[in-house]
Structure 1
Amino acid sequence: MQKKLLGEERRTMLLDLLKESREPLTGSELAAKANVSRQVIVGDITLLKARNEPILATSQGYLYMPTTAPAALAERIIACSHGPGDTEEELNLLVDHGVTVRDVRIEHPVYGDLTASIMVSNRREVKQFMEKIKTTNAGYLSELTEGIHLHTISAPSEKALDEAEEAMMAARFLIEQ
């Protein structure tokens, strides 16, 4: 029987696992390693975030995002509009141009700006994101705003962002400015 890790010892182990991993780790994976429930892990991650640890919750799991990036990335925000049925096509179009879709943001009439991390960079991650939406029966943030939303996108170069934006315009996913 595996020893159940307690409190600070468990949070230290979680932080070490996240720092060492290049891939997102799910709450269930972390729970199994610490011999606790997934809900305990959710609480631990919340406490670590409160200590300003750069942990990002994505649809694929938790990522440790160090403050100093190894290479400077070009980044911009794009304004989009489409129905829920076009989400997978939109994300695939962006990642096929070498772009990472970092988040989705909407302006809600009651809550103001709402942002959710997406962090997809390739078709495999888009597929995982879409499967998670389907299996959890979750809605898209953009459904709250009749399809209007923003994405923060990043890429190794401005040229890649320009090409992705042109493709989004051709697909009629961008809101013309």
Structure 2
Amino acid sequence: MKAEKMSTIDRQNLIISTLKKAKTPITGSEFAKITNVSRQVIVQDISILKAKNEPIVATSQGYIYLNEEAGKELETMVIVCQHSPEQTQEELYRIVDHGVSVKDVIVEHPVYGDLTASIRVSNRKEVDQFIQKIHETNSSYLLTLTDHLHLHTLEADSREKLLAACKDLLAAGILVSNDEKL
């Protein structure tokens, strides 16, 4: 016997409550199975929720809800990098190995201006999943639009971790500039 589809409002409420409680990203396919609708319906629901200012972010691992945890201030830093697409995994490993998360990648497009894409990787497993998703979907890295020049927003629980990651990237010839002494 086939389960009934959930109403749009019930489905969207379920998505929000599930994402708020989740410790790991949840894919559109997982939500589709739970709610007995297509993944495309879930993608539409997520778009509607984002338009209602719900802080939902799509990552290569699935959807996350950006909970602002009280008392947990993260240090952030924007860095400029330049490397070949083949060095992307090395770049991300060098960052996450210092306990630093890569929030996004930003490129300056000649027509669209700044293009920002969420990456949200914090460890090697998430980096591997991100790289695998790029290959599986035959997608291009955004850096291919800008002679490999791109920015990353980094997050960590200490400035020292951010600086250590930058020193590592500088030693590898990946970091282009940084406003702090390394």
Letter in 2 for 1:52: N
Count of residue pairs brought into register by the alignment: 177
Letter in 1 for 2:22: S
1:41-70 deviation per Cα after TM superposition (whole angstroms, max 9, x unaligned): 000001101111110111110001124455
Secondary structure of 2:175's match? Answer: coil
Q: Is the 8 A contact 2:79 2:177 kept in 1?
A: no
Match of 1:108? 109
Counterpart-to-counterpart distance in 1, 2:165 and 2:39: 37
Q: Percent identity?
A: 51
Segments ≥4 residues shifted beyond 3 Å: 67-70
Root mean square deviation, CA, Å? 1.0
Match of 1:34? 35
Secondary structure of 1:52's match? Answer: coil
Q: What TM-score do the two structures reach when normalised by structure 2? A: 0.95
Q: How far apart are residue 30 of structure 1 and its match?
A: 0.6
Q: Is the 8 A contact 1:54 1:67 kept in 2?
A: no
Within a 5 Å distance, the mapping from 1:76-155 to structure 2 comes to: 76-155=77-156
Counterpart-to-counterpart distance in 2, 1:50 and 1:176: 35
Residue 8 of structure 2 corresponds to residue 7 of structure 1 = yes
- Identify unmatched segments of 5+ residues in structure 2: none
Secondary structure of 2:58's match? Answer: strand
Q: Is the 8 A contact 1:11 1:44 kept in 2?
A: yes
- Identify unmatched segments of 5+ residues in structure 1: none
Counterpart-to-counterpart distance in 2, 1:119 and 1:99: 11
Distance 1:131 1:9, change over 3 A: same
